Structure 1
Amino acid sequence: MWVVTMQKNVGGIDRTGRLVVGAVAVLAGIAALTGFWAVGIVTAVVALVVGGILLVTGLTRKCPINDAAGIDTTE
């Protein structure tokens, strides 16, 4: 069995930004899907997906794109 472990590479302002922007994007997507914000369905779904990804990478402190690019914002 293969076990892939990825080191934490998200921290500091990067992590805080991901959590804040992710939460706002998820809330905006929910607002759009429930009719409180008049944007298209595609915009609502994109906001939910992007917000979800930002929240997960902020909470886990691991980002595969940062890993591939060799970026580490932990201090």
Structure 2
Amino acid sequence: MEKNVGGFDRVWRLVGGTLLVVIGAAALVGAVAVGPVVAAVMVVVGAVFFATGVLQRCIINRLLDLDTYRSDRTETTHSNEESTERPS
């Protein structure tokens, strides 16, 4: 599967996933007043978000035909093309 997570989408997954895992783990330990089922779900969902951010691949994005990674590459390629066309 090709990379399809990039830019703000990737940053949001990394930060949000980390927060969910930390809050869920704190809830499982008893530091936060949330039920154990909700805490476990938060840990799992956070881990999935974090993993998709690190790997830059998301099966749901693929099924929905979303590709935030390509927009990053297109902008970079476009700026490189402009710089090679200008005379020095």
Query: Normalising by the residue count of structure 1, what TM-score does the alignment of the two structures yield?
Result: 0.91
User: Unaligned regions of 5+ residues in structure 1, if any?
Assistant: 1-5
Q: Which has the larger radius of gyration?
A: 2
Q: Partner letter of residue 33 of structure 2?
A: A
Equivalent residue for 2:37? Answer: 42
Give the count of matched residue pairs. Answer: 70
Equivalent residue for 1:21? Answer: 16
* Distance (whole Å) between structure 2 residues aligned to residue 41 and residue 30 of structure 1: 10
Q: Percent identity?
A: 49
* Distance (whole Å) between structure 2 residues aligned to residue 58 and residue 22 of structure 1: 9
Q: Which deviations, in whole Å up to 9, do the C-alpha atoms of 1:21-49 show, x marking residues without a partner? A: 00000000100000100110111011001
1:58 to 53, 62, 85: 53
Q: Partner letter of residue 46 of structure 1?
A: V
> Could you say which structure has the greater relative contact order, defined with CA pairs below 8 angstroms and 6 or more residues apart?
1
| Two-structure CA RMSD over aligned residues (Å) | 0.4
* Distance (whole Å) between structure 2 residues aligned to residue 29 and residue 39 of structure 1: 8
